[in-house]
Copies of this chain bind each other. A is one copy, B any other.
Amino acid sequence: MTETKFDVVGIGNAIVDVLAHCTEEDLARLNLVKNSMTLIDAETADSLYAQMGPGLEMSGGSAGNTMAGIAALGGKGAYIGKVRDDQLGQVFRHDIRATGIAFDTAPATLGAPTARCLIFVTPDGHRTMNTFLGACVELGPDDIDAQLIAASRVIYMEGYLWDREDAKNAFIKAAQIAHEAGRQVSISLSDSFCVDRHRASFRDLVHNHIDVLFANEEEIKSLYEVDSFDAALAEVRRHCKVAALTRSEKGAVIVSDDEIHIIAAEPVDRVVDSTGAGDLFASGFLYGYTKGFELAQCGRLGAICAAEVISHMGARPDADLKELMQKSLNV
């Protein structure tokens, strides 16, 4: 086996988030579907931005957030994603490297600018996302560094990549390299609307290429077109080695063969901004998983990281996750 250099390598849409507070009335007026992620074109991005309040810019992207969390816990990671050679691209590159994550994907030198996600945060802390993919559409199989993949215990991909054929092919290439090198492959289903768009393809992926699956309740129900969480659970355990299913304030369920763990949500004083909850759950879980923690501990660590990120604006950790982990898990 190739020498292990990284715990996790993440592959995702490299996005800078623009966060602003808004009211429920603003969502209605702007015809936004609360809690969803909608893909928008450049023109819509401009007109929506013009109607948005003063913003806060922070690097984001689902897998990017997960990798930042893994680095904050002390894990070693790398990231593959596409920015343009513009100012927001520099911001993204700086921020992920500053967390300690290796990021060497070449930027696009032509075409659309670095991706932006316009995130509207309502007073209840829920986030509604509008993503202009920009330069992310340039990510393809050529960006997959085979040596990097083979040197990582687990590769992790966000389901959002499925919205682009080239990105999907990039991931399948990465999954094959990983498995040939004896590594494991994980994915987050990202968004129930994204699952709706690509259900057959996702099922094929999950059943044939995935060792560790992350999904929330809506996503896993959508994947199997069932109405209850329990029915979805029965389906998924027949197919995946490990599934980590998150349920917001109801906590999470981790299932693997005959093993099943019910994880309580970590208490939070006030949900300020739910952006990144699923991403940071994956950080905690994957960190524990690559360090050989028991599955229940992996789930607990996921819940702790998710609770931290929803207690402030932005989808990357603010507090010292390593310290939180040591306090809560005695590790």
Chain B residues, CB < 8 A from A94: 49-50, 52, 54-55
The segment from A56-64, A146-154, A282-290 found at the interface with B is: A56-64
Please determine whether B314 and A98 come into contact, CB atoms closer than 8 angstroms. Answer: no
Could you list 29 A-B pairs, sorted by A, with CB under 8 Å?
A20-B98, A49-B94, A50-B94, A52-B98, A53-B98, A54-B59, A54-B68, A54-B94, A54-B95, A54-B96, A54-B98, A54-B99, A54-B316, A55-B58, A55-B91, A55-B94, A55-B95, A55-B98, A56-B56, A56-B57, A56-B58, A56-B314, A57-B57, A57-B58, A57-B91, A86-B87, A87-B87, A87-B88, A87-B113
Q: A49–B90 Cα gap in the complex (Å)?
A: 10
Q: Smallest CB–CB gap between A288 and chain B, Å?
A: 23
Q: Smallest CB–CB gap between A84 and chain B, Å?
A: 10
Chain B residues, CB < 8 A from A20: 98
A: which residues have CB within 8 A of B? 20, 49-50, 52-59, 68, 86-88, 91, 94-96, 98-99, 113, 314, 316
Chain B residues, CB < 8 A from A98: 20, 52-55
Can you name 14 extra interface pairs (CB under 8 A) apart from A20-B98, A52-B98, A87-B87?
A49-B94, A52-B94, A54-B59, A54-B68, A54-B95, A54-B98, A54-B99, A55-B58, A55-B91, A56-B57, A57-B57, A57-B91, A86-B87, A87-B113
